[in-house]
Each structure stands twice: as structure tokens, then as C-alpha cells.
Amino acid sequence: MKKYYFINSFDTNIINKQDKTTTFIYRDYKSSKFDTNKILKLKTFLKKRGNKFLLANDFKMAMKFKLDGVYLPSFYNRFDHLNYSIYSNFIILGSAHNLKEIKIKERQRVQGIFISSLFKKNSNFLGLNKFKLMCNYSKKDIIALGGISKKNIKKLRLLNISGFAGISFFE
């Protein structure tokens, strides 16, 4: 099962605790612009470790810096990235909270869709049964997101998913 770790800083202590199969997704919603130096340092560091590195919400920058891919959040509803030719092995992932967003992500031609929130009891909480139903609406790879912990990780075996993502699980 694939693992995706959302990060917003370059902390080698946390990164070094992860194995080489973990894909890192850098997102920083607090600042309006990405720090390009930080992105390039992260890219170099993760490449040496053998990890994949995706950038959230900025398709052009991910292509410019030849990153492994891009993550399109649920609020990213544009289709301008389809006008660009992408290099082989470039990963496009997106997230969705409902059926409408799943269909948008499919039209954006993502390879995998993060569906949330599986366990985290917030405004878009699904739970196991609703999550399973949502997964049936797409043929894309489904990645579980939201509230995954060491206590409930075994419950993921009940789902037909290709991976899981989180923040606190990895820390």
C-alpha cells in the first residue's frame, strides 16, 4: 500500500524517519508563494533518499523543477494543466470530498484521488461505509485521507484502496 505524507516544512528529522516508499507532498497554504529555494532543497534531499516528491497546487512549478508530480486539492477546479505536455512518469493526484469533486478530478485526468475524511470527524467526515460507497464512483486509484492513526490503520484492509495519506500518522 502506498503512503503519502503531507509536509509544509523541510524537517530532516521527520523525513529521515520515513521509508523510501513514502511519497512526500509539499503544501504550504499559509503563504501565498512557494519558497523556491526550499522546494529545490527538498527535491535534492528526497531524490538522494529515493523518495518521490509532489508539489501541491502549482502545476507549472512542479513541471519547471522537474518534480515527480503535482497534487491538486479539492478546491483546485481549473483545467489549464491539460494544455501542457507532461513528461513520462509525472504523477497527477487530486483530492475530493464528494461525488461532484470526484468527477472534476476525473476530468482533470488525475491518476489517483484522495477521498476524505475517512476517520477524522470534521465537516466532511465519511466513515467506513460512506467512504466505500464514494470509492465505487471512480475507476481511479483511491487513496484514504483523514484521521488515519496507528490505532485504525488495520481498518484500511477493509477498503479497496491503493494507499493512504496523512500528516500526524507519520510524525
Confidence label for 3 from pLDDT (cuts 50, 70 and 90): very high
pLDDT above 90: residue 138: yes
Q: For domain 2-170, which architecture applies?
A: Alpha-Beta Barrel (3.20)
Average per-residue pLDDT for the chain: 91
Q: Which residues contact 143 (CB under 8 A, 6 or more apart)?
A: 2, 4, 93, 112, 113, 114, 115, 161, 162, 163, 164, 165
pLDDT attached to residue 25 = 96
Please tell me the pTM assigned to this model: 0.92
Domains of the chain, residue spans: 2-170
Q: Is the pLDDT of residue 171 over 80?
A: no
Q: Per-residue pLDDT for 30 more than 80?
A: no
Q: Across residues 120-135, what is the average pLDDT?
A: 86
